């Protein structure tokens, strides 16, 4: 996207820079990252960034025209709905594939939305690490923070969203077997930044409507606020899981963010959105009979890490699906192999723009990005383990 910067970076790249970055992660967190980290950040031009910003603005404006109570009724089974007040969505991730526009340029195309937190404290660490261990990085004119933020103001902003007015000891990061999660490096980053405990869902104590955990000294400590990182899909996949509470219980806690937002701002609203950067999509219960399925991807509404996606659906596949209400057909996009690498193949890019809720401004505000690189059909940091110049990364935007 910025040929001069990319060519200079590649020409001066040394494998030792990458190895030093990986060692820095081990030194900091006492273990390597559980997912592959790309050898390179992505450098995004002002022009592409302007397109991404415009698309994000249009998407967020359309969100507030959606009847979320109707979405809740339609897509969340009654027994899974949480009675705790929902409030606003604290987080939003908007994923774009950087695609060919048919005119020799690049266009961002919406892949999916998630009102769920992701690597909010690992990403700034990664951005800093590229700058620290890669002397060939441009030192001026680029930034990975959004909206004019810097390390201090970013940390303060995200800290306020997660802690609210509570003391750190009364706020937990809730996960299921956190020490086994691929994203656990972000848990350690979060604990370091905020001073909150990481608590497995199986370790939470329920007494009436109140929840507790045992701190490092074994003392029972009240939980007032939950920074929720538990994915519903994973809960359902584990048989005979024993917990003292469910995410949909009537509890005397504040959720960050409320569990129902995971369902309501997701792939299930994509057929309701329209914009030049939004590929056409249809509910599987209501799509044109003459639709050319070769141009569409079949996606389950609620899946994690790309599970269940069918890149080549046909009528037979669709007819075999019993729960059609839980799927959409989404128009395929052509990811552009736009990142020149020091290998035989270029890499494709998926850009995740991350937003948090700003109470004072009463709206979602962009704060940072997460970037993933791939050389295959799907953008997934768990795939193509033998490839290089792919994996999890971060984008530096031209200022």
What single-letter DSSP state applies at residue 150?
-
Domain definitions of the chain by residue range: 1-65+87-158+344-399, 164-256
Q: Binning pLDDT at 50, 70 and 90, where does residue 26 land?
A: very high
Q: Binning pLDDT at 50, 70 and 90, where does residue 10 land?
A: very high
Give residue 218's pLDDT: 95
387-393: average pLDDT: 95
Q: Which of 83-87, 126-130, 380-384 has the highest mean pLDDT?
A: 126-130
Instruction: Tell me the DSSP string of 306-373.
Output: TTT-BSS--HHHHHH-S-GGGEEEEE---B---B--SSSS-BEEEEEEEEEEETTTTEEEEEEEEEEE
**What whole-number distance in Å separates Cα of residue 219 and Cα of residue 207?**
15
Give residue 103's pLDDT: 86
**What whole-number distance in Å separates Cα of residue 57 and Cα of residue 95?**
13
288-292: average pLDDT: 93
* Sequence-separated contacts (24+) of 303-308 with Cβ below 8 Å: 303/233, 304/231, 304/233, 304/234, 305/380, 305/382, 306/378, 306/379, 306/380, 307/233
> For residue 212, how many C-alpha atoms fall within 13 Å in the half-sphere facing its CB?
11
Residue, of 79 and 216, whose pLDDT is higher: 216
278-282: average pLDDT: 95
Q: Binning pLDDT at 50, 70 and 90, where does residue 125 land?
A: very high
221-237: average pLDDT: 91
Q: Is the peptide bond before 257 cis (omega within 30 degrees of 0)?
A: yes
* Cα distances (Å, whole numbers) of residue 111 to 86, 114, 122, 268, 311: 26, 10, 23, 12, 13
Residue, of 78 and 277, whose pLDDT is higher: 277
Give the global pTM: 0.94
Nearest to 381 by CA among 398, 394, 397: 394
Q: Binning pLDDT at 50, 70 and 90, where does residue 94 land?
A: very high
Give residue 382's pLDDT: 55
- Whether residue 243 is predicted with pLDDT greater than 70 in this model: the reply is yes
Q: Binning pLDDT at 50, 70 and 90, where does residue 194 land?
A: very high
129-134: average pLDDT: 98
At the topology level, CATH places domain 164-256 in Rossmann fold (3.40.50)
214-223: average pLDDT: 96
Contact 389, 38 (CB under 8 A): yes
- Digit-coded pLDDT (tens) for 317-360: 999 999 898 899 999 998 999 999 999 999 999 999 999 999 99
Give residue 305's pLDDT: 54
Phi and psi at residue 188, in whole multiples of 5°? -65, -35
Give residue 92's pLDDT: 97
3-state secondary structure of 119: coil
- Digit-coded pLDDT (tens) for 39-60: 999 999 999 999 999 999 999 9
**What's the mean per-residue pLDDT of the chain?**
93
3-state secondary structure of 187: helix
């Amino acid at each position: 996207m910025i040929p001069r910067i990319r060519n200079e970076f590649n020409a001066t790249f040394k494998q030792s820079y990458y190895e030093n970055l990986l060692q820095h992660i081990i030194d900091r967190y006492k273990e390597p990252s559980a997912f592959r980290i790309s050898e390179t950040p992505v450098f995004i031009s002002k022009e592409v960034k302007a397109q991404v910003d415009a698309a994000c603005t249009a998407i967020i404006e359309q969100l507030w025209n959606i009847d979320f109570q109707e979405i809740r009724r339609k897509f969340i089974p009654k027994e899974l709905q949480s009675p705790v007040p929902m409030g606003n969505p604290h987080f939003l991730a908007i994923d774009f594939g950087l695609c060919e526009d048919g005119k020799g340029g690049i266009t961002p195309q919406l892949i999916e939305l998630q009102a769920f937190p992701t690597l909010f404290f690992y990403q700034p660490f990664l951005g800093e690490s590229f700058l620290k261990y890669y002397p060939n990085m441009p030192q001026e004119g680029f930034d990975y923070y959004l909206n004019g933020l810097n390390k201090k103001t970013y940390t303060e902003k995200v800290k306020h969203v997660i802690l609210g007015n509570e003391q750190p000891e009364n706020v937990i990061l809730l996960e299921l077997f956190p020490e086994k999660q691929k994203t656990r490096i972000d848990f350690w980053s979060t604990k370091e930044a905020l001073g909150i405990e990481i608590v497995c869902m199986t370790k939470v104590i329920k007494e009436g409507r109140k929840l507790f955990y045992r701190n490092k000294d074994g003392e029972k400590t009240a939980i007032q606020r939950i920074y929720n990182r538990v994915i519903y899909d994973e809960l359902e996949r584990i048989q005979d899981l024993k917990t003292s509470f469910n995410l949909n219980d009537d509890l005397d806690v504040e959720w960050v963010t409320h569990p129902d937002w995971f369902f309501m701002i997701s792939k299930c609203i994509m057929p309701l959105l329209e914009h030049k950067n939004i590929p056409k999509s249809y509910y599987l219960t209501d799509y044109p009979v003459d639709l050319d399925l070769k141009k569409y991807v079949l996606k389950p509404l609620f899946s994690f890490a790309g599970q269940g996606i069918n890149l080549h659906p046909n009528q037979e596949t669709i007819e075999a699906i019993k729960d059609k209400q839980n799927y959409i057909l989404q128009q395929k996009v052509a990811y552009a192999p736009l990142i020149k690498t020091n290998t035989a193949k270029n890499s494709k890019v998926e850009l995740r723009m991350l937003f948090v809720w700003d109470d004072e401004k009463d709206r979602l505000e962009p704060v940072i990005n997460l970037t993933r690189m791939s050389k295959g059909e799907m953008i997934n940091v768990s795939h193509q383990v033998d490839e290089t110049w792919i994996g999890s990364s971060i984008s530096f935007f031209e200022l």
